Amino acid sequence: MSIGHLARAALMAAVCLGAAFPAAAADEPVPATLDTGPGAVIAARPGAAETLDLETCAQRALAGNDLLQAERFRRRELDGQMKQALATGLPTLDATGTWSRGRDPSFALDSSFGGGGSSSAMIDSLFGGFSFIPPPEDIPAQTYWRSSLNLSWTLNPIKILGAIGAAGQGIRRQDLALLGAVHQTEQDVVAAYHGVVLAAEQLAAVEAEVRNQREFLDISRLRFGLGMATELDTLQAAVATANLSPQLRQAQQGLRNAGARLNAVMGADPESPLSVRNEQRVEADAVARETALALAARRPDVMQAEVMSDLLRQNRRAQKSEMRPYLSMLGSYGYVGRRLKDLDDAGHDFWNASVALNVPLFDGLLTRGLVQQTEASILRAESERNGLLRQARVEVLDLLDGRDAARENLLAAELNMARADDLLETSILMLRHGKADYLTVLQSEVERSRARTNLIRARYDVLTTTATLKRAIGVSPLLPLTAVDGLVAGGSQ
């Protein structure tokens, strides 16, 4: 087929598409560009819902996040362990009651207490076999009731202090874990919240691009009608507009998915209606690196490792106490009688008490083995803490560099966006007056779309990287950088 035939076929296709496109466009309304300006309301999930800001989202997440709730329940478990540790130094008191029936044991031990035998043949002949003590089988069975309070108390002060100290360190460690979970939840909220804004801005960018492309199509048709453009220009504009439909649907889905993620972080049903207010407070302050690295040593996970070493030392203290002397006290007081009404008779009461000094001599090296194991665990915990601190410092250094790069990218993107807007406006004006072709305008639109995408992503990177940096140095991701003493370079020390 010759080049002329190909050209004619292309022109015919362009004319057909140009004739069909207006009908399709009339059926499909042009999307109104989503408002994503400062303070704008973004409907992330369809339905009537209260408009939330970042602080409100964070409050709901701290109250309803499932993982955070689990950490709070672990804290309650340790409260129970503290009470168990306190029980190590407290006495136990039991109330008991028994009922028994039988012959008096003092008459049933052996023949020396009566019951068949005699110690002397002469005595037996004198009394003619008579005995003052009846044989056991002649003693009637009797019922005995007994009630008593029994006290037991083991006094080992070193063990008690060690157990209480270990439980206290365990609670402190869990408090740090809970604080770390709070910071992580706040970071997740910041990322999910700004993820909704990011998705909305991306959707708005695609909608704006669709509107521009349809405007280009209208201009191409007008110029074609005036004989200032070819069918090829109209065909290119129509194809570019149609190609944006899948991108528009993906952006709409991305906004809904971002809303579902934010709902999940807040502990709500992912399908719940959700609207947020666009509040993006970009912190452009430079961070003092040495201060940030010093704060990394105080972040919750590093502090947990330190507390773990202290906890193991308390355990070692309690273990060593097993080979130290300790006191045991036992006591019992109660009543005994053959009838229930006798149990409150002072004449039927009884008591006993004992105090013992226990001196462990040899336990088969069990205590020594436990202490040796715990000492090795202490060394291991300290080594793990040092490694964790190094990793924390590496993370902080990486985030500092990443945030600096993100800030520079944001400044460049803002400048480039302004230039891209000017370029596109100039190209469209030249196209209306026939001073530029469609390809020039299309290239300007592509560059503007790329500049806007870079700006949206750069702003999101600064916001999320800043939040992650705050979590990495052990402060709340919702806390402004300027609120941390000495953190902002050139700020108050």
Secondary structure of residue 3 in the 3-state scheme:
helix
Asked if 474 and 296 count as a contact pair (C-beta separation under 8 A), the reply is yes
What are the residues facing 147 on neighbouring strands? Answer: 97, 335
Say if residues 342 and 145 touch (Cβ distance below 8 Å).
yes
User: Strands across the sheet with 51-52, in order?
Assistant: 41-45, 274-277, 51-52
* Residue of 237, 238, 240, 229 whose CA lies nearest to 434: 229
CA atoms within 13 A of residue 261's CA, in its CB half-sphere = 18
Between CA 422 and CA 18 the distance in angstroms is: 29
Q: Which amino acid is at 445?
A: E
C-alpha 184/C-alpha 61 separation (Å) is 11
pLDDT of residue 271: 93
Q: Give the span between the Cα atoms of 90 and 449, in whole angstroms.
A: 74
User: Which phi-psi region, left, alpha or beta, contains residue 433 (left: φ > 0; alpha: ψ -120 to 50)?
Assistant: alpha
CATH architecture group of domain 95-156+324-358? Single Sheet (2.20)
For residues 410 and 282, the answer to whether their CB atoms sit within 8 Å is yes
CA distance 203 to 40: 14
Helix (H) or strand (E) holding 156: none
Identify whether the C-beta of residue 464 lies closer than 8 Å to the C-beta of residue 190.
yes
Closest CA to 209 of 242, 244, 252: 244
| The pLDDT value given to residue 23 | 36
pLDDT computed for residue 134 by the predictor: 63
- In the chain, where the domains are located: 14-86+159-317+366-483, 95-156+324-358
Inter-CA distances, 276 with 44, 258, 259, 464, 483, Å:
7, 11, 9, 17, 26
Q: How far is CA 318 from the centre of its chain?
A: 32
Q: What is the pTM of this model?
A: 0.72
Write down the pLDDT at residue 12.
41
Coil, strand, or helix at residue 485? Answer: coil
Q: Which residues of the chain have pLDDT under 50?
A: 1-30, 107-118, 492-493
Residue 30's nearest CA partner among 215, 307, 262 is 215
CATH for the stretch 14-86+159-317+366-483? 1.20.1600.10
Short-list 6, 19, 372, CA closest to 221: 19
226, 287, 280: which is closest to 485 by C-alpha? 287
Rounded to 5 degrees, what angle do the CA atoms 449, 194, 246 make?
A: 40
From residue 284, alpha-carbon distances to 88, 407, 462 in Å are 55, 7, 8
Residue 375, CA distances (Å) to 16, 368, 369, 382 in order: 85, 11, 10, 11
Q: What is the dihedral of CA 121, 125, 129, 130, to 10 degrees?
A: -110
Q: Which two tokens stand for residue 479?
A: 């806390």
Closest to 452 measured CA to CA, from 216, 201, 168: 201
Residue 350 bridge partners (DSSP)? 334
474: its two tokens: 């052990």
Beta strand 51-52 pairing with 274-277: parallel
* Structural element, H or E, at residue 143: strand 142-155
* Max CA distance (Å), the chain: 159
Q: Tell me, rounded to whole angstroms, the distance of Cα 258 from its chain centroid.
A: 19
From first CA to last CA, the distance across the chain in angstroms is: 80
Q: Measure the CA–CA gap between 85 and 156, rounded to whole angstroms.
A: 13
User: Residue 402: which residues within 8 A CB-CB, separation 6 or more?
Assistant: 461, 465
Strand order in the sheet with 326-337: 92-102, 142-155, 326-337, 349-358
